[in-house]
Amino acid sequence: MRAVSRQTGPERTPEPTLLSQDLRAAALAALTPLAVGLLVLDGYLALDVFGVVLAVLVSAGALVWWRRRRGRWFPRELSTGGLVGLVLLVGLLAILASAML
């Protein structure tokens, strides 16, 4: 008789992540919809319905660009610079929205 192994291949255990990587991913997950919403609001305040359509197209293009550049929506090696840029963008869009109200 031959011994039968139940293991069909090497186990793939996920690599543990650092707390800082998890916090960056959580911040990215919170700021991305906020940035899109503020962009749509700014588009509406500036150009009514045409501004909303334009903002949705720009947002979709930016999200596709992000995915193609990073390879994933939430990459493991998310740089702090990208997150800081998103924070600055959200701040700028919020200031712009409050100025147009």
Percentage of residues in the chain with pLDDT exceeding 70? 85
Q: Is 7's pLDDT higher than 60?
A: no
Residue closest to 43 by CA, chosen among 58, 64, 30: 58
Q: Is 10's pLDDT higher than 80?
A: no
- Report pTM: 0.78
Residue closest to 74 by CA, chosen among 15, 13, 24: 24
Chain-centre distance of CA 50, in angstroms?
Answer: 25
| pLDDT averaged over every residue in the chain | 87
pLDDT in tens, 31-64: 999 999 999 999 999 999 999 999 999 999 999 9
